[in-house]
Structures are given as structure tokens and as C-alpha cells.
Structure 1
């Protein structure tokens, strides 16, 4: 099992990181630590984890963008006036919250809200990437320092 994990570690970390950034309740940090302990290249691990996690967040963002009207009206039952007010407030101040998209439990909803309120693709991607890369870099640095 360890040989399989090590041989395919970058791919497995990418897939697990992708799934963890969608609505699937998974964590990818444990695999990053395990692969670091197996002496896989930290730079490639960071790239793999960050890329997978950001693409998963973009998937959630896309659900918000294209499913937004249905979600807002039918699922969340928010009236158009309240939607407009919330959208205005979020677009002015709330997009910075995307730096916290890495935080368990609140990260996925933040990405969905970013899509619902149509945060521009580039801004969304930049903020989410900075936050998610920072989290993985911290975990990798802490792991390597303690190893």
C-alpha cells in the first residue's frame, strides 16, 4: 500500500484535494503530511495539493454562478430585494473572505457564495489560490521542520 501511495502520491493528493474542496467532506492535509514523510518533492506536493484544491473550489464557484438563480429563489428562498442588497454588500467587502476558503466547514460555502454573487473569475481564483497555497505551505513547512 505504501509503495502504491508513494508511486502515485502526486495524483492521489491532487484528486483528494480536489474532492476536499467540493461539498464532499474530506481532508487532504493528512495525505500531504504522509507524502512529505515519504520524501516526495515538497514543491510538487504543494503544486498538486493547491491545484486540486483550487479546481475543486472553482467547481463550487461554478455551481454558484450557473445554479445561483435556482439556489437563491427555490432553495434558500431569498427575495429579489434581499438578494440585491446582499450581492452589493458582498461584492464590495465580502470577496476578501475568499482568502479563508481553506477553513474547514466555512470554506466551501464561501466559494459557493462567491459564485452566487458572481465574484469575477480572476479575483476569485487569485484570492482562493493565495489562501489555499498558504495553508498547504504552512502544513508542509511545519511537517518538514518537525521531521
Structure 2
């Protein structure tokens, strides 16, 4: 592991940087990188139960920001492909997604398909702000539900 990455990981692991770690991990996990941010959120809440709501909100913000980057990558890719082909690309296979429009971004919380869905929304040129709002709603519901469920099944987590 490169020294700079090792130093960054050590810095983010410090307790006083817990929320920043959740922000970075949740942001990166919403891009097309294969990461999961739920363990970071749950771990922080397990160590600091009073950070339940801040951790949920920071994770939602980071994950939504990562979804926005995926949306922008999809839009950029569409523009590059259009330029390379000299015209509009027909996306017949995604016609079903057009029926839902930005509301489809509510499903951005789903494993495996959620992150690419944000990129596809950008590819399809769905309006950015409504997509971002739906992403935030879906991701907030996921973090709240998953963290509450973990705390329910592992009640000792509140007492390290």
C-alpha cells in the first residue's frame, strides 16, 4: 500500500474523524467502486451512539454526492458517445426507464444496480436536481432502515 494511502487511512481511522470517514466511504461507495459504507456507519454508531442521526445524515450526503458524480459521468459519457458517432444514440433497451424518469433514482439504494442506475439517469439526461432529490430520499431510507435493523439485532452495539 502506498505511504500516502496508508497515512490517509490512519488519519481517517482516528475517532475525531469518524464522521469524515463515513463521508468519504459513503461517497466512494456510491460511485462505481465496489465498496459498502454500511459497516463504517454501523461501526461509528456502535462506538458513538450519540452520533446516530449525524452519521445517518453524513452518510446520506456522501452517498448522494457519489450518486451525483455517477450521474455526471453518465451524462459526460453520453455526450462523448454522441460526438463520436456523430449523432444521438438510440437507447431502446432503456425505454422502460423513461416511464419513471427521475423517480427511478429512488432505487439508487439497491445493491449492484443502484450505483449504475445513477449513471444511467445521467446518460438519459434526466433532470439533475430531481434525480439528486430522489437519490437522497432513497439513500436516507436505506441508511436509516439498515442501521436501525442492525441496532435491533445487535442491541449490545450500544454498549461497547
TM-score (normalised: structure 2): 0.77
Match for 2:41 among 32, 38, 42? 32
1:98 aligns with 2:105: yes
**Alignment match, 1:113:** 120
Match for 1:127 among 131, 134, 147? 134
TM-score (normalised: structure 1): 0.83
Distance in 1, matches of 2:137 and 2:95, equals 24
1:9-44 residue CA offsets vs partner (Å, 9 max, x unmatched):
100000000000001110000111111111241111
Larger Rg over CA atoms: 2
**Alignment match, 2:58:** 48
Match for 1:136 among 119, 139, 143? 143
- List, as ranges, runs of 4+ consecutive aligned residues in structure 1 with deviation greater than 4 Å: 71-74, 85-89
Q: Secondary structure at the match of 2:109?
A: coil
Q: Secondary structure at the match of 2:90?
A: helix
Which runs of 5 or more residues in structure 2 are unaligned?
A: 1-9, 156-160
Distance in 2, matches of 1:98 and 1:62, equals 14
How big is the alpha-carbon RMSD for the aligned residues of Structure 1 and Structure 2? Answer: 2.5
Match for 1:82 among 75, 85, 90? 90
Preserved CA contact (<8 Å) 1:36 1:144: no
Which runs of 5 or more residues in structure 1 are unaligned?
A: none
Distance in 2, matches of 1:72 and 1:81, equals 6
